[in-house]
Structure 1
Amino acid sequence: MNPIRIKLEGFMSYRNETELNFEDKPIWVLTGDNGSGKSAIFDAVTFALYGKTQRSVNNSDMINIHADQFLIEFDFKSGKRVYRIRKTVPRKGRATYQVVDLYTHEPVPDTSSKVGFDAWVANEIGIDLQTFTASVLLGQGNSDLLIRENPVERHKMLTQIVDLSAYQRLFELADNKRKASEIGRHKVEGQMENCSLIDQSELDQLSSEISEQTTMMERLQKRQVHLSTIAVQAKQWARLTQQKSQIIQSMGDAKAVIDNADQIEKSGKRFDYLSKHLPKLSKLAKDRQNLSQIDSQAQKNTQLIAQATKELGELRQTKDQLKNKRSQVKDYSSLLTEAKTLCAEAGRLLELFRTLDGKSGCNACGQPLTADHFETEQQKREKVLNEHQQSERQLQAQHNQSVSLRAKLEKDQKTVEDRISKAENRLRETQSGLELLASKKEMIAQTVTDLLAEIPADMHHLNVDELSLLQTEYQSLKGMDRKLEQLRQVQLAQQKNQIRLEQIVADMAEIPDAARVDAGQLQLEMRQIEGRSTELSRKLESMRLELEKKRHQRHQHQKLQQQLEKVSLQAGLYKDLSTLLGRDKLQRYLLRQAELGIVENANRVLDRISSGTIRLSLRQEYQDADSGQEKALDLVAHNSSLVDESGSDASNTLIPVSLLSGSQRFRVSVALALGIGQYTSKHKRNLDTVIIDEGFGSLDEAGRRELIDELQNLTGLLDRIILVTHQEEIARAFPNGYQIRLENGSSKVSLIE
């Protein structure tokens, strides 16, 4: 886990938005006066990851007094991916959680809830807050947490650091398999208790009994087949005997009909004769009657044609007379029009003359227009007008008389023309009817000729009475056709019965004497044999089922025995595997290797930051402990600077690390943290980051110099080292850092130039 960026707003002393970026440089230093807000930055980191800090405060107490909520964004690298944790905590309402994958810029699924977020941190970071503050974040006044914890707690921490979860899952899987195999073994053992072993001799005895019963069954079946054959023949004998009796009786009944065959055939032939010719005779009589009616109607039509022709001639003559009279009527239209024109002109001239009244001269004659002259001229014009009006009235009267006469003549002519049209239509219809009658007469005459050709000559001239007698005879013979057909059928059936009787006699001769018995007795014996066979068959089926059941039980017992051997082998293998993968074998071995590696790395650091005076080692009795031990990093220290009370060298004396001085415990804590970082950088759980929050005050000047040199030497081994100090000597020793100041109650961060 490699910190890259921290952004704060409204968190503790950070009222305004503040951002610190640790990217690109391996070592960073945060410096500032005590109380300026340096440690709050890493409180934000632990809150971002774990939802709490090393301070015992409520979430709302961490909100700046001038803010309604605080925001924390923490960017860090885990493995090959970079993530951003974003959390907000308001004074009122619910906090928000989110993790974003900065490679894809997509939210990590299920991290918007506290449960999902905590599960993701546990899976991705892999260590809890206690382990984080003991191995990565060496907090102010708490840097020696790892060596202060008892070995049992250190065991829990080391288990997280080394990440034995995969081996633990393999152990749990193998142990679950072992348990399942044990359950399977007990299950098979229980099944074997309910499935006893069947001896082979018992199976052989049952097979022998089945064979004997099968032989008896075969004998019964042969007898049953023999009786079945005889029974079939006996049924056939009974059936043939009955058929023979029925045929003889049927042939006796048919003899009475056959004895009357001559009379039936004679009547039947007469019925066929009449059936053939009587319909034709009836049609011939009807056609002759129709011909007589056609001749009568044709005569009437001829008379009507003559009358219509005469009437049509008279009407045409009348039409011509009316047309001639109409042409002789004078037309007064033009004369009347001319008279009206002259009358209008005379009136116009009169009115024009009257307009000259009071003028000096007459425009008609040019004379002086005196009163007498005006009166004379006016009278002349009035006279002319009256004459023209009289003439117009006479012509109008003559014109009206002419128009009336012409209309009457035209009407009479139209009436005559209508009568002519009707007469012509009647004439055409009558002529068409006459032609149709002639055509119909020709067709009927041809039919009569054809009928006469089909009817015997002695029937050509039958009268009505003779025809009626034949029809009466025909009615009396009705049904003779059916009787004749029945006679034919009886004669045919008699022939077939005779043939069938001969065949039955032949078939009966072929049936053996043994089968010429009562079929009922045979059926009784067959039912008895069938009952014995059914009983024996059920017994055989029961014996076979029992044999099959015992064979299956023997096979099942053998199969269960094989399963028991297999599942017992599996249970043993999984037991060995779970033991090897368990806490006391592989996991303990891996923890021991991690302890040795961490101690070795820590000793290399200690050798340089303690001038070779301190060296760590694991307790000997702890290293040789029996299985079941749950301790880790149970350390003792070799201190070469120690002397006993007599002044002798006591460097080989081993003392618990908890009894070291404050500065020595700080060196050991830093060395262990750096050792853990170096070790995990080469393994799955990558914790190659160390944050040291203060603690340098416990070192003298030489100690601080040694630690500074060592930290600078580790830049290629760890991805990130962050130091928090208020000592200028430490701050000046590193080129990259942030200055933190408290201004007006709010922390301000600036990059050290």
Structure 2
Amino acid sequence: MKPLQLTLRAFGPYAGETLIDFERFGGAGLYLITGDTGAGKTTLFDALSFALYGEGSGAFRKPEMLRSKYASPEQKTEVLLRFEDKGEVYEVRRTPSYLRPAKRGKGETQQLAEAELWLPDGSVKTKVKEVNEKLEDILGLNREQFLQTAMISQGEFLKLLLASTEERQKIFRKIFHTERFAGLQELLKAESNACEREFELLEQKQRSCLERLQPEGEAEALRQAVLRRESPAEELLSLLPASLAALELERNEVAALREAKNEEISELSAAIVRAEAAEQRARLRREKEAEILRGRTALTEQREALTRIRREIEEKTARWEELPAYRALLPKYEELARASAARAAQELRVKEEEKALRRAAERALAAAELLNKSREESRELADAGEALARCEAKASELKERSLLLSSVQRKIKDYADCFHEGKQAQDVFLKAREAYEQAERDYGTAYRLFLAGQAGLLAEELETGSPCPVCGSTEHPRPAEKPRETPSEAELKRLEEARKLGQERAERAAKQHSALRERLSQQKQQLSEQAARLFPEAEFRDLDRSAKAEQERLTRATAENEALRTQCERREARRRELAEALPGFEQAAAERLSEQGAANEALAAARQSLEGLVAAEAAERKQLPAEDIEVLRERIRLLENEQRRAREAEQRLAEEATAAEQALSRAEGEHKALVAEEDKEESAVTAAELREKKLAAEAARAALSERTEVLGARLSNNRETLERLRALEQERVVLLRRLQAAKSLADTASGQLSGQDKIMLETYVQLDYFERMLLRANIRLMEMTEGRYELVRSKEAENKRSQSGLSLDVVDHYSGSERSVKSLSGGESFQASLALALGLSDTVQEEAGGIRLDAMFIDEGFGTLSEGALRAALNTLLELAAGQRLVGVISHVPELKEKIERQIRIRKQADGGSTAEIILP
């Protein structure tokens, strides 16, 4: 890939459009990119990387960071690159994703990433993914390979030189795609780990089986020893069959004892049933005797209570006879209650009339106040109509002056446009006249030279033996020589036509300029006449300023007058409203005053009626005892309740006595029947004693059943566990052989074999690339250091835990020592880093199918080099740029500025942006 032209728009520090024409370098050789710090030198590499791969050249320069902060909001950020590859020319345009002002409304919106690729056959790719894939196919390198081979970014030199084996593994993995070997390592390791986990799981299963096993005696002691890993499992497996046989014999003996207990419990259950029936009959006889005793006592108590209640009724009969007289007084109390209710209702009516009077008085006062207030406001608004008329006249005057001002402003703009058009026409005329004068001089010079060279032109046509057209001689010993600058007749004719064309253009430009000047004069006269009506004392040059001042004054006066007119309109509307409302207010005030008088009369009538009702209530109250009707009613209610409760108690006690006599008679009859029935079967043992014996027998049976189940479960568990242990032991033997094989393969691929170098499979593959890279790097390093230094692989790892194979040492041929590359000085480290980077570039090109890089870009400081080392590095770069390769270098070193004459010079601008300029010798 060789760049031809690079165009940047609003990219990085380049705010406007910046064009880098690499074709001016001739397509090959070394050139320098120089300029102020931070001016944007590395940005050129970012632009190239972004155009090809959609990302910058640095790890921290993301696409969204490439937008220029100096660009105007409407300026679009994009990069356009035209390049050549294998004789074909391609063109790619890219735009990064960034925030830009929204086209509609306010705020910002996201500008999406864009990409276009024009192919030599005329087709175009317009999707970002398609462009990325096609460019990688054209170049033959992905972005990581390109940055390691064709564009070596700042800081990447020492990173590769001083990297550890692990870090260099990661670098080579990206460049040479050795991740498949790392994948194989991980696959083998995963297989080994899986076997280990499977073996551990199997051992856990064996241990779980041993923990479930429940042998006794010697077998149990041996099981504990196996769990402690003190004895092998095989011994336990051989002893378990005998233990199982003894356990089965014990289970059968316990089952026989349990059956004997079942028969004993059946006999005890039958005896308990018989004993409980006899005890039940004796208990019933005792309960009936107690019931008869309680019945006789209750019957005596009920008869005594009946006698007491009947005596009490006789004593209270005289009081109950007063009830009819009390009931006869109730109607008279009701008449008094109605009189009191009428008096209370009239009192409420008097209060309501008082409230009505107060409300009528308040309404009358409010109507009078509203009337007075409206009359006062009407007098204050009497001049509202005149003020409104003055505002309307003022508005008409301001509008007329504003229209005149607008006309003057349009003429001022027309005059300014005509003035600028005249200036442009004058510039065109001056340029046309200058071009005509130059064409006139060129033609005159050529004509004089043409006349002076006529002899030479005739001499060119002379032939030996042919007469001269001037002197007639057939011999031409000294023919005149035509001056080298003599123009041809065709050239002279071309210059003459150019002179005529220039004359015509100058004449047309002069006519156009004259016409514009005439039109400008007319517009000035018209503008002056019309402006004099507004600004009679203003000079012509101040018309625009006067018009702007007058516009501000008119705007302010119009706004003030409009506000005043709005206020006057509101006052006039209010005056008219009050004029219409005042008659209604006067009538309302009169009506409210009349309502107040009617309310006063109604209150007097209500008070008079109340006095009559109070007198009638007093007359009714004099005819009755001092007690209230409610007291009389409460006395009647108490006597009635007392009488009712006594009668009900008498009836209830009589019924209860009759029921008690009947219950006592039934109990005596049932007792006689029980006494007559004798228990012929007497038992010496009670039911309680028999139940205790049964419980003891059931407890013994339960213990035997539990022991039988425990022995059965243990026997079943031990048999199943024994079979499981035998199967697991066979499985363990097979898995152990598989684990040993998988671990050996994994340790070999991971570089973990004891006593061997710690070189992983991926590192072993990378060693081939590393050796080839060192071979090419040392050719350049030996040249730059005059044969002193050579890079070699370290023979030992940095520490016992580290992987080995890709570490670097340097051989000092002057002292014959081998030491770490970290011991090199700053200048020596740069030389070694540059050589290593170029060696990596050659190796990657070879690995990528013989791809040739027609252009390289190096961004690295040369300031640490001595004069000799700088000269050697420069020779290396010149050798690198030999042939058809174009090599660009970024540096601030003054010596390089002197030695590399072809340059791209970057300068900062006063406004913060940058510009780029190509400098050629």
Q: TM-score, normalised by structure 1?
A: 0.39
Q: TM-score, normalised by structure 2?
A: 0.33
